[in-house]
Amino acid sequence: MGARDLQVVLHGRRILDVPALAIPAGRWTAVVGPNGAGKTTLLKALAHLLPAARGRVQLMGRDMEDWSGRSRARTLAWLGQNEGGTDDLLAHDVVMLGRLPHQAWLGAPSALDRAAVENAMRQTQSWDWRERPLGQLSGGERQRVLLARALAVHADVLLMDEPLANLDAPHQADWLLTVRALVDAGHTVVSVLHELGMALQADELLVLAQGRVVHQGRAADAACRAALASVFDHRIAIHQVAGQWVVLPQ
Ligand SMILES: Nc1ncnc2c1ncn2[C@@H]1O[C@H](COP(=O)(O)OP(=O)(O)OP(=O)(O)O)[C@@H](O)[C@H]1O
């Protein structure tokens, strides 16, 4: 996906200013940067969730405005932070919401929908809580249900804002495997991450600061690590341990 002249002004402040952006298809891009850099704002603007956004966003080569809401919802899955309004729903029904773009108007879920929900819940190990209201789950359990909802869409493009929030280490590792499998199957994943060591395992890094893209490139490149150190005012130390990047605060 991509964007041109993307701007967000809120209460008279320019929050985001991205003249041109191309996110490679079939790869995993991690969006990183300090608090307040505009990462969530960028992701929401790309997802067409921010009425205040100006500019052009393209999804699979077509302007967002040219997509019907339904086909866009089938093509682009969203995992956001602190989403309200679904606490009273059973976890299973929350995940089924991910199948809405595939269902006929007022139609019952098909066998395919039910299988997609079960597979996604088993993949995130949340199937055991399917009969529990979302509001009664722990932060990590809830996050895994919401991840299942995004996976159940079977979308070509997945946008995830802080998907690792509240996940314990094994489930962070599972998330990584899930993303790798998605990308291997040709999907595009864009995730905002604060876990910089995980972000450095992405294919591409998009580094934001003060509402601007200050670097975009292959995460394996030294230039990405230099850009990271710079936007965090050199308050991080990046080490390689057993072939993986470890980022420590300093
Ligand atoms: N509704 C709003 N009204 C005014 N300013 C806002 C609003 N939402 C966000 N901002 C401001 O926009 C800037 C970018 O916010 P955003 O949430 O995109 O940052 P972020 O990079 O995701 O931050 P974090 O790492 O803290 O989650 C911040 O300075 C924030 O205060």
Instruction: Give the DSSP per-residue string, 110-158.
Output: PHHHHHHHHHHHHHTT-GGGTTSBGGGS-HHHHHHHHHHHHHHT--SEE
Which residue among 13, 15, 44, 161 is best mutated to probe the pocket of ligand 1, counting the most ligand atoms within 8 A of its Cβ?
15
Which residue among 6, 9, 10 is best mutated to probe the pocket of ligand 1, counting the most ligand atoms within 8 A of its Cβ?
10
- Domain assignment of residue 15, yes or no: yes
What pLDDT does residue 24 have?
97
- Domain assignment of residue 6, yes or no: yes
- Domain assignment of residue 133, yes or no: no
- pLDDT confidence of 82, banded at 50, 70, 90? confident
Please give the residue range of the domain that contains residue 12: 1-60+156-162+186-250
CA of 36 from ligand 1 middle (Å) equals 5
Query: How many structural domains are present in the chain?
Result: 1
- Domain assignment of residue 67, yes or no: no
What pLDDT does residue 81 have?
87
Pocket of ligand 1 (CB under 6 A): 10-11, 15, 33, 35-41
- Closest atom of ligand 1 to 208 CA is 21
- Over range 6-12, report the average pLDDT: 94
pTM: 0.96
CA of 107 from ligand 1 middle (Å) equals 38
Dig out the tokens for 165 from the structure: 């929030």
| Closest of 127, 151, 150, 123 to residue 137, by C-alpha | 127
What's the pLDDT tens digit per position in 169-207?
A: 999 999 999 999 999 999 999 999 999 999 999 999 999
